Amino acid sequence: MSASRDHYSYEHYADAQVAERFDALRFGGPIGQYLLDTQQSLLVAALAPIDGKLVLDVGTGTGRAALGLTDAGARVIGLDYSAEMLRVARSRASEGKARIPLGRADAHALPIADRAVDAAVSLRVLMHAIDWRQCVAELCRVARWRVVVDFPAKASLAALESAARRVRKSLGRPVEAYRVISAGEMRAAFAAHGFRDVSAHRQFVLPIALHKRVGSEAWTRRVEGGMERIGLMRLFGSPVTVVAER
């Protein structure tokens, strides 16, 4: 498809400073590390047995997921539209002596043949993409076996933040006005391409920003564990990581 390159999802991540600060902003501090560790565990479990599998990481960004999958034994290709994010990813891969082919590509039109990879993963992409269903279609097209995506849930506190950001964006403020998606919408998008959900993991009921302000993994585990025990996680947990299989 032909996508408008003035959409914030292209403009924001084209900035060199955004790329340089991304890891510290997303994965800095104890809660950031907890997010990274959880992401790694979810991906490895979703693609097990992972050793030797060919995995496409779409929207690889600074390469954190790609590096984690490589460390776990997968063969990984990383694609991203942002040249600046790819520059950081190449530096990270070089530091870790990881051999990861990295290339520039749009998630709406992947330069990969049908069913050419065992699995495709795409994290923190659908929430920002111009046409998230087209991105899902592309992930399903290139994956022989499984697709893993995540998204902020429509039935969660993230929906309030999303609405607030969209208002600020309409007023000309420079914000990432991300979308929220329902589990039913995601299930239907996968089903349209012959995939079915095999698992869904919900991570937080309270906003991630609050957990980062508290800055205690023990507190986060205790509070969110309590939410899960009384059934709130199943109803309102976000982000949702979905594993779909052909």
pLDDT digits (tens, 9 = 90+) for 188-243: 999 999 999 999 999 999 999 999 999 999 999 999 999 999 999 999 999 999 99
Name the band, by pLDDT with cuts 50, 70 and 90, for residue 184: very high
pLDDT at 4 (0 to 100): 55
What sign results for the dihedral spanned by CA atoms 77, 89, 41, 132? Answer: negative
pLDDT band at 1 (very low <50, low <70, confident <90, very high): very low
The mean per-residue pLDDT over the stretch 20-39 comes to 92
Tokens of 192: 């349209």
Q: Quick check: 56 and 242 in contact, CB under 8 A?
A: no
Q: Would residue 159 count as lying in a domain? A: no
Backbone torsion region of residue 80, taken as left when φ is above 0, otherwise alpha when ψ lies between -120 and 50, otherwise beta: beta
Q: pLDDT band at 87, cuts 50/70/90?
A: very high
The position carrying tokens 């309409």 is 170
**Could you list the residue range(s) of the whole structural domain that residue 28 is in?**
8-153+179-204+238-245
**Does residue 48 sit within a domain?**
yes
pLDDT per residue over 115-143, tens digit each? Answer: 999 999 999 999 999 999 999 999 999 99
The residue among 61, 186, 97 whose CA lies nearest residue 133 is: 186
Tokens of 42: 């979810």
In angstroms, the CA 237 to CA 242 distance is 13
Percent of the chain with pLDDT over 90: 80
Interatomic CA distance for residues 227 and 205, integer angstroms: 7
For 62, counting Cβ atoms within 10 Å of its Cβ (0-12 exposed, 13-18 middle, 19+ buried), the class is: buried
Q: Is residue 210 part of a domain?
A: no
pLDDT at 71: 95
Residue 224 lies in a domain: no
Q: Is the pLDDT of residue 29 over 70?
A: yes
pLDDT grade for 2, boundaries at 50, 70 and 90: very low
Whether residue 52 is contained in a domain is answered as yes
Confidence band of 25 (pLDDT split at 50, 70, 90): confident
Residue 52 belongs to domain with CATH number: 3.40.50.150
Give the pLDDT confidence score for residue 172 in this predicted structure: 80
Which tokens in the block code for residue 124? Answer: 């923190």
* Torsion angle of C-alpha atoms 5, 7, 8, 13, degrees rounded to 10: -20
Q: What is the mean pLDDT of the chain?
A: 93
Domains: count for the chain: 1
3-class DSSP string for 34-55:
HHHHHHHHHHHHHCCCCCCCEE
Q: What was the pLDDT predicted at 5?
A: 66
- For 195, which DSSP code? -
Residue 125 placed within a domain: yes
3-state SS, residue 231? coil
The reply to whether 221 falls in a domain is no
DSSP-derived secondary structure letter, 14: G
Q: Is the pLDDT of residue 176 over 80?
A: no
Predicted local confidence at residue 141, as pLDDT: 98
Is 167 part of any domain?
A: no
Q: Which residues touch 207 (CB under 8 Å, ≥6 apart)? A: 157, 158, 161
Q: Are 143 and 170 in contact (CB under 8 A)?
A: no
Take residue 77 and report the two structure tokens written for it. Answer: 């290709």
Q: What is the mean pLDDT of residues 81-98?
A: 93
Local confidence band at 15 (pLDDT 50, 70, 90 cut-offs): confident
Task: Give the whole-number percent of the chain exceeding pLDDT 70.
Answer: 98
| Contact indicator for 149, 241 with CB cutoff of 8 Å | yes
